[in-house]
């Protein structure tokens, strides 16, 4: 079995302007949504209380909601979690953190709705801890991006490729943020972990394609850059699709079977992997081409000429 | 010719064999068990084991084997019911000497246990339990240090007859809280003499003469290193105190660890009732130093059930009665440090008091050399008790003598407690520290995971792993035929290797950790795909099969390396920044990248060379 029995020859680069447009559109939507609507942050980042409870039958969400309000809780959020029998309750952070008392109050409300209801997970996070987790998540994201930029600068000998790679690496996590913001999916700590993994993977295809571009130029220095890029992408296409399919198989298995606790995590990975495949073709390679990538930029070291191709 | 050096075959074989051995304990599962240990922490011997066995037999509880591990007895049971019955029996008849805790014992065969092979510990999100995060008030620890220095300076200056106006805490530099002391002097006094006198007494502190608007002054600013040392000390002390109390809870495999700069987390597997735990962890402990009442007989007092006037009856560490004077020499808040070391008289505890405590120590021991002094550990806790159906909060005070030693010379603010067994000195020092004025702690996060949710998380994670891997296996065989089978063997080897590494590191596995293992399967496949696609390409260019294989491995190498380096960067950052379950994900991801590099570059090549290598003639590769 092969995806492509014959060598493919898709003219990827000629349609790149169209795809630039799509990317810009998606990024703008992501940014607008991120800055206006924001993310549905989990208590990991805001502080607060989460209680997961199991009911013997379908849970009466409205009854739980009004019960909580009657018991004096401000702005309780009650949602199904995984199945109709499971619910998740979210409460805003409280100044006085008395876990046991809080749990007893919520349990009383649950028992009132259904005596057989049972809380199985109870989590209180102080607002201060939430704040710090938010900061360390931002720190982790920016550290990873910076280190990867550094790696890119070392790895590719021309700024044309580096710029392409950097834009692609930025593109993917922004789209993940965008989708989470637009759909209002709960953004928790595991999602940040998934985003870091996405940043790590995003470069994967780009590197493979760039390696191939150098090989193409090595075999023929006079090759037209646009043709060289198209050939490189086509030659690595079956590998790109194959690895993505396999990684998607396991991540989708995780999404479907891993339970509600890993939903956000696997969703971020799925979006990130899809975006990464696309960006390795239409962002990193296309940007390099539009920056005027030529054979001599890549082969400069081969002819032992001092490397200095800064603009 | 396609070859692979013989030593590399051996390397792959040996690594995989060892990995298999370490990964194996994970397949046996767990059984409900009771963990029993002696209260004095002496290892359980045969007699003690027989006693427990006797109690269980008498109560007709059927155990499923017992063994001693690390000095603690593990009794296994077929059902949770038997386990609970056994706990009640042991608690009823043996609770004076023994402490029992509900636990899960791995079902690994005895020979594995003897080799120290254990399964991966499970995180709270997989096992159920209680997680508490405490904030330690490290600023007050620094303030305390300044106060103790301040008292010392006052004494030094008084002794040296150098007049001073006042000593106050000040905030210098960019510090948020006071980190310095200012000694203001009367106009016209010799600041240099004051500085020299203080510096002589406190060689580790830095003193500077300054001109303040109100006259000459001497400043002492703590260095960042001194402040950090003090903060670490406070955290360490809190950690020890919490550990001691957690041990009393009777929980198996509790974890108490520092988290970040100023937090300590407590993880209690299997515990659900957080109110009770928080009562015990929130206890306030202090120390009292008292002279022994040498004029009266403690045994008489015990039999009469009443202590003579001015004395109080206690029990010493060995349970013998001892009479102590009611008058206090010093209390825990005057103790600044207690460390254990080995001196010329064997193990010892080095005790340091602040100025006030030192003075009192001096006055009280001057006329009492040859008599004995006791250290009493006092713990106050608040317990909720049922009084005629009403829940009432009661303050409970527990006192116990932790040291009783003869005063051999007049003591001041620094002395040693000698004549200890080495285990004793190592227990006494942290106990004394935990009774010195401890830094305030308050809970900032709490999580209680029900045991059913934990089991559900395991089931779901394992299911996702099995289905995901199964689908990948089928897909790889369909797509790459024999090479696909090779890739699958390598994938399996990778999971075994990763499991072995995690078991060796004893890093507790969390739900995100399982997700990490699943993700690693994806990464490991990627490396194989890179190699195989390259081989196919070479074949399309009419290269001979063996040469294609060689070229495939060689040309794919740089791409594999590159793609793994970037993922490794992300994994390492997360490892450094993350905590808890997220850090576990990072550990799994990082190790998984390393193992997948090894298995796909070495393992895969070994297998393929075995099949197609050497001098045989290969006309066709089964690569789909």
Task: For residue range B289-312, list pLDDT tens digits in order.
Answer: 888 888 888 888 888 878 888 888
pLDDT exceeds cutoff 50 at A307: no
Residue with tokens 């005070």: B397
Question: 3-state DSSP call for residue B271?
Answer: coil
The whole-angstrom separation of Cα B67 and Cα B69 is 6
Q: Where in chain B is the domain with CATH 3.30.70.260?
A: 30-106
- Mark yes or no for CB contact B471/A100 under 8 Å: no
A88 near B414, Cβ under 8 Å? Answer: no
Q: Which pLDDT does position B381 carry in this prediction?
A: 66
Same domain (yes/no): A149, A25? yes
Burial of B328 (0-12, 13-18, 19+ CB in 10 A): middle
Joined tokens for residue A269: 């990975």
Interface of A with B in 234-263 (CB under 8 A): 235-236, 238-239, 242-243, 245-247, 249-254, 256-259, 261-262
Q: Helical H runs in B379-450?
A: 422-435
A164-173, B281-290, B450-459, B460-469: lowest mean pLDDT where? Answer: B281-290
Q: Which pLDDT does position B326 carry in this prediction?
A: 82
Query: How big is the A-B interface in CB pairs under 8 Å?
Result: 213
Same domain (yes/no): A76, A193? no
Q: Which pLDDT does position B389 carry in this prediction?
A: 58
Same domain (yes/no): A138, A55? no
Boundary (domain end) residue, out of A125, A144, A164: A125
The domain that holds A63 is classified in CATH as: 3.30.70.3400
The whole-angstrom separation of Cα A173 and Cα A142 is 11
Confidence of residue B503 (pLDDT cuts 50, 70, 90): very high
Residue of B135, B259, B445 to mutate for A, most A C-beta atoms under 10 A: B445
pLDDT single digits (tens) B238-249:
888 888 778 777
Which residues does residue B385 pair with via DSSP β-bridges, in sequence order? B392
Q: Which residues contact B31 (CB under 8 A, 6 or more apart)?
A: B64, B76, B77, B78, B104, B105, B106, B107
The whole-angstrom separation of Cα A90 and Cα A187 is 14
Q: Which pLDDT does position B518 carry in this prediction?
A: 86
Joined tokens for residue B563: 């793609």
Radius of gyration of chain A (CA): 25
Confirm whether A213 is domain-assigned. yes
Confidence of residue B148 (pLDDT cuts 50, 70, 90): confident
The mean pLDDT value of chain B amounts to 84
Q: Which pLDDT does position B393 carry in this prediction?
A: 60
**What's the gap in Å between the CA of A199 and the closest CA on chain B?**
7
Q: Is A139 on the interface with B (CB under 8 A)?
A: yes
Instruction: DSSP for B22-65, please give it.
Output: HHGGGGS-EEEEEEEEETT-PPP-HHHHHHHHHHHHHTTPPPS-
Question: 3-state DSSP call for residue A40?
Answer: strand
b/e map B180-206, b = 16+ CB within 10 Å: bbbbbbeeebebeebbebbeeeeeebe
B174 near B182, Cβ under 8 Å? Answer: no
- Mark yes or no for CB contact A207/B585 under 8 Å: no
Domain of A54, in residue numbers: 48-125
B145 near B229, Cβ under 8 Å? Answer: no
- Mark yes or no for CB contact B586/A193 under 8 Å: yes
Percent of chain A that is helix, strand, coil (3-state, to 5):
65, 10, 25
Same domain (yes/no): A134, A171? yes
Q: Is B566 on the interface with A (CB under 8 A)?
A: yes
pLDDT single digits (tens) B339-382:
888 888 888 888 888 777 888 888 888 888 888 888 888 877 65
Q: Where in chain B is the domain with CATH 3.30.1360.200?
A: 283-436
Boundary (domain end) residue, out of A106, A125, A144: A125
Nearest to B450 among A121, A128, A262 (CB): A121
Q: Which residues of A touch B521 (CB under 8 A)?
A: 250
pLDDT exceeds cutoff 70 at A147: yes
Confirm whether A305 is domain-assigned. no
pLDDT exceeds cutoff 70 at B438: no
B614 near B3, Cβ under 8 Å? Answer: yes
Distances (CA, A) of B340 to A61, A247, B230: 58, 54, 18
Per-residue DSSP letter, B452: H
Q: Which pLDDT does position B209 carry in this prediction?
A: 87
Joined tokens for residue B459: 């089931």
Percent of chain B that is helix, strand, coil (3-state, to 5):
50, 25, 25
Radius of gyration of chain B (CA): 33
Interface of B with A in 388-447 (CB under 8 A): 442-447
Q: Which residues of A touch B530 (CB under 8 A)?
A: 208, 239, 243
Looking at chain B, how many residues does it have? 624
Q: Is B515 on the interface with A (CB under 8 A)?
A: yes
Q: Which residues of B touch A208 (CB under 8 A)?
A: 530, 559, 562-563
Which CATH superfamily includes the segment(s) B30-106? Answer: ACT domain (3.30.70.260)
pLDDT exceeds cutoff 90 at A9: no
Q: Which residues of B touch A251 (CB under 8 A)?
A: 468, 518-519, 522
Same domain (yes/no): A202, A112? no
Q: Which residues of B touch A259 (CB under 8 A)?
A: 456-457, 460-461
Q: Which pLDDT does position B332 carry in this prediction?
A: 81
Q: Which residues of A touch B526 (CB under 8 A)?
A: 204, 243, 246-247
Q: Is A193 on the interface with B (CB under 8 A)?
A: yes
Same domain (yes/no): A27, A149? yes
pLDDT greater at residue B311 or residue B213: B311
In which element (H, E) is residue B382 found?
strand B372-387
Q: Which residues contact B87 (CB under 8 A, 6 or more apart)?
A: B34, B100, B102
Residue with tokens 């970040």: B260
Same domain (yes/no): A104, A150? no
Interface of B with A in 464-483 (CB under 8 A): 464-465, 467-469, 471-472, 475-476, 478-479
Q: Domains in chain A: how many in total?
A: 2
**What's the gap in Å between the CA of B473 and the closest CA on chain A?**
10
- Mark yes or no for CB contact A246/B125 under 8 Å: no
The whole-angstrom separation of Cα B125 and Cα B206 is 49
Residue of A87, A107, A258, A266 to mutate for B, most B C-beta atoms under 10 A: A258
The whole-angstrom separation of Cα B33 and Cα B74 is 6
Q: Is A93 on the interface with B (CB under 8 A)?
A: no
Same domain (yes/no): A121, A175? no
pLDDT single digits (tens) A83-117:
888 889 888 876 555 777 788 888 888 888 888 88
Confirm whether A120 is domain-assigned. yes
Q: Which pLDDT does position A306 carry in this prediction?
A: 47
Q: Which pLDDT does position B587 carry in this prediction?
A: 93
Question: 3-state DSSP call for residue B69?
Answer: strand
Q: Which residues contact A72 (CB under 8 A, 6 or more apart)?
A: none
**What's the gap in Å between the CA of A294 and the closest CA on chain B?**
21
Same domain (yes/no): A266, A172? yes
**What's the gap in Å between the CA of A237 and the closest CA on chain B?**
10
**What's the gap in Å between the CA of B437 and the closest CA on chain A?**
24
- Mark yes or no for CB contact B562/A103 under 8 Å: no
Q: Which residues of B touch A95 (CB under 8 A)?
A: none
Instruction: DSSP for B190-251, please give it.
Output: -HHHHHHHHHHH-TTS-EEEEEETTEEEEEEE--HHHHHHHHHHHHHHHHHHHHHHHHHTTB
**What's the gap in Å between the CA of B591 and the closest CA on chain A?**
14
- Mark yes or no for CB contact B445/A192 under 8 Å: no
Q: Which pLDDT does position A4 carry in this prediction?
A: 62
Nearest to B471 among A207, A243, A249 (CB): A249
A148-152, B214-218, B430-434: lowest mean pLDDT where? Answer: B430-434
Confirm whether A87 is domain-assigned. yes
Q: Which residues of B touch A269 (CB under 8 A)?
A: 519
Same domain (yes/no): A116, A193? no
What is the domain class of B6-24+451-612 according to CATH?
A: mainly alpha
**What's the gap in Å between the CA of B151 and the closest CA on chain A?**
35
pLDDT exceeds cutoff 50 at A303: no
A298 near A213, Cβ under 8 Å? Answer: yes
Confirm whether A197 is domain-assigned. yes
A95-104, B53-62, B545-554, B605-614: lowest mean pLDDT where? Answer: A95-104
pLDDT single digits (tens) A43-64:
889 888 888 898 888 888 888 8
User: How many CB atoms lie under 10 A from the CB of residue B467?
Assistant: 18
Q: Which pLDDT does position A311 carry in this prediction?
A: 46
pLDDT exceeds cutoff 70 at A16: yes
Q: Which residues of A touch B469 (CB under 8 A)?
A: 250
Record the pTM.
0.80
How is domain B283-436 classified at the CATH fold level? Gyrase A; domain 2 (3.30.1360)
Residue with tokens 């004076």: B96
Q: Is A97 on the interface with B (CB under 8 A)?
A: yes
pLDDT exceeds cutoff 60 at A304: no
Name the residue among A186, A14, A176, A155 with its Cα closest to residue B558. A155
Q: Is A136 on the interface with B (CB under 8 A)?
A: yes
Distances (CA, A) of B409 to B361, B367, B370, B405: 11, 10, 8, 12
Per-residue DSSP letter, B409: S
Asked whether the CA dihedral B396, B400, B402, B406 is positive or negative, the reply is: positive
Q: Which residues of B touch A139 (CB under 8 A)?
A: 577
Same domain (yes/no): A109, A187? no
What is the domain class of B142-227 according to CATH?
A: alpha beta
Interface of A with B in 48-77 (CB under 8 A): 52, 54
Confirm whether A294 is domain-assigned. yes
Joined tokens for residue B546: 């063996």
Same domain (yes/no): A25, A158? yes
pLDDT single digits (tens) B520-567:
888 888 888 889 988 988 888 888 888 999 998 988 888 788 878 888
Joined tokens for residue B520: 């690693």
Q: Give the pLDDT mean for B386-408.
A: 74
Nearest to B566 among A119, A204, A253 (CB): A204
B132 near A126, Cβ under 8 Å? Answer: no
């Amino acid at each position: 079995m092969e995806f492509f029995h014959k060598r493919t020859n898709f003219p990827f680069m000629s349609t790149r302007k169209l795809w630039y447009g799509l990317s810009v559109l998606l990024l703008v939507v992501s940014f607008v949504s991120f800055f206006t609507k924001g993310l549905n942050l989990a208590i990991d980042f805001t502080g607060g209380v989460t209680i997961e409870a199991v009911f013997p039958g379908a849970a009466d969400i409205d009854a739980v909601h009004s019960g909580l309000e009657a018991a004096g809780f401000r702005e309780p959020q009650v949602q199904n979690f995984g199945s109709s029998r499971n619910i998740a309750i979210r409460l805003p952070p409280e100044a006085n953190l008395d876990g046991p008392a809080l749990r007893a109050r919520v349990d009383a409300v649950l028992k009132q709705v259904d005596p057989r209801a049972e809380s199985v997970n109870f989590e209180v996070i102080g607002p201060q801890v939430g704040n710090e987790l938010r900061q360390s998540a931002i720190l982790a994201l920016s550290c990873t991006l910076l280190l990867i930029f550094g790696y890119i600068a070392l790895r590719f000998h021309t700024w044309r490729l580096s710029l392409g790679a950097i834009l692609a690496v930025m593109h993917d996590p922004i789209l993940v943020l965008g989708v989470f913001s637009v759909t209002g999916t709960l953004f928790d700590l595991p999602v940040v972990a998934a985003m870091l993994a996405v940043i790590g993977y995003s470069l994967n295809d780009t590197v493979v394609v760039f390696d191939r571009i150098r090989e193409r130029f090595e075999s023929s220095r006079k090759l037209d850059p646009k043709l060289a890029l198209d050939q490189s992408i086509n030659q690595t296409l079956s590998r790109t699709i194959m690895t993505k399919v396999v990684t998607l198989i396991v991540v989708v298995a995780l999404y479907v079977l891993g339970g509600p606790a890993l939903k956000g995590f696997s969703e971020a990975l799925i979006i990130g992997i899809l975006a990464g495949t696309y960006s390795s073709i239409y962002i990193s390679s296309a940007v390099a081409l539009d920056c005027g990538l030529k054979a001599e930029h890549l082969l400069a070291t081969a002819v032992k000429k001092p490397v200095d191709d800064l603009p | 010719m396609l070859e692979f050096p013989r030593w590399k075959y051996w390397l792959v074989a040996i690594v995989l064999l060892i990995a298999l051995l370490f990964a194996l304990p994970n397949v046996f599962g767990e059984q409900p068990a009771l963990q029993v240990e002696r209260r004095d922490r002496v290892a359980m011997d045969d007699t003690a084991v027989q006693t427990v066995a006797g109690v269980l037999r008498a109560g007709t509880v059927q155990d499923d084997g017992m063994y001693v591990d690390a000095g603690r007895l593990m009794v296994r049971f077929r059902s949770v019911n038997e386990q609970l019955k056994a706990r009640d029996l042991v608690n009823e008849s043996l609770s004076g000497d023994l402490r029992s805790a509900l636990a899960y014992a791995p079902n690994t065969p005895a020979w594995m246990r003897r080799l120290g092979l254990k399964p991966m510990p499970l995180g709270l999100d997989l096992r159920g339990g209680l997680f508490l995060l405490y904030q330690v008030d490290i600023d007050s620890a620094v303030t305390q240090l300044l106060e103790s220095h301040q008292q010392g300076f006052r004494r030094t200056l008084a002794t040296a007859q150098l007049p001073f106006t006042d000593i106050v805490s000040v905030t210098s530099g960019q510090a948020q809280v006071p980190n310095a002391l200012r000694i203001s002097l009367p106009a016209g006094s010799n600041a240099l003499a004051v500085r020299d006198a203080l510096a002589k007494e406190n060689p580790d502190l830095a003193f500077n003469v300054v001109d303040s608007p109100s006259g000459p002054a001497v400043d002492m600013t703590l260095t960042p290193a001194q402040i950090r040392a003090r903060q670490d000390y406070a955290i360490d002390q809190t950690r020890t105190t919490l550990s001691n109390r957690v041990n009393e809870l009777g929980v198996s495999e509790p974890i108490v660890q520092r988290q970040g700069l100023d937090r300590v987390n407590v993880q209690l597997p299997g515990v659900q009732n957080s109110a009770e735990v928080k009562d015990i962890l929130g206890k306030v402990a202090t120390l009292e130093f008292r002279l022994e009442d040498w004029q009266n007989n403690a045994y008489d007092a015990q039999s009469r059930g009443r202590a003579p006037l001015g004395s109080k009856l206690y029990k010493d560490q060995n349970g013998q009665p001892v009479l102590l004077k009611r008058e206090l020499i010093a209390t825990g808040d005057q103790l600044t440090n207690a460390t254990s070391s080995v001196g010329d008289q064997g193990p010892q505890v080095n005790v340091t008091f602040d100025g006030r405590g030192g003075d009192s120590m001096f006055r009280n021991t001057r006329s009492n050399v040859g008599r004995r002094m006791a250290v009493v550990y006092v713990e106050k806790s608040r317990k909720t008790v049922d009084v005629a159906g009403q829940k009432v909060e009661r303050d409970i005070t527990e006192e116990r003598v932790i040291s009783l030693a003869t005063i051999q010379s007049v003591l001041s603010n620094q002395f040693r407690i000698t004549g200890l067994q080495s285990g004793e000195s190592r227990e006494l020092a942290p106990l004394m520290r935990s009774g010195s004025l401890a830094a305030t702690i308050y809970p900032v996060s709490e999580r209680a995971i029900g045991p059913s949710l934990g089991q559900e998380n395991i089931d779901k994670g394992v299911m996702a792993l099995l289905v995901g891997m199964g689908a990948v296996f089928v897909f790889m065989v369909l797509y790459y035929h024999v090479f696909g089978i090779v890739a699958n063997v390598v994938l399996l080897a990778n999971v075994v290797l990763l499991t072995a590494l995690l078991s060796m590191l004893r890093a507790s596995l969390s739900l995100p950790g399982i997700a990490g293992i699943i993700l690693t399967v994806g990464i490991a496949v990627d490396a194989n795909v890179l190699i195989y696609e390259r081989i196919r390409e070479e074949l399309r260019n009419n290269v001979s099969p063996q040469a294609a294989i060689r070229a495939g491995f060689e040309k794919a190498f740089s791409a594999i390396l590159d793609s793994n380096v970037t993922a490794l960067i992300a994994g390492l950052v997360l490892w450094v920044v993350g905590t808890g379950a997220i850090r576990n994900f990072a550990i799994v991801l990082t190790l998984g990248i390393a193992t997948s590099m090894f298995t796909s570059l070495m393992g895969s090549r070994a297998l393929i060379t075995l099949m197609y290598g050497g001098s045989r003639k290969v006309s066709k590769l089964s690569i789909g």
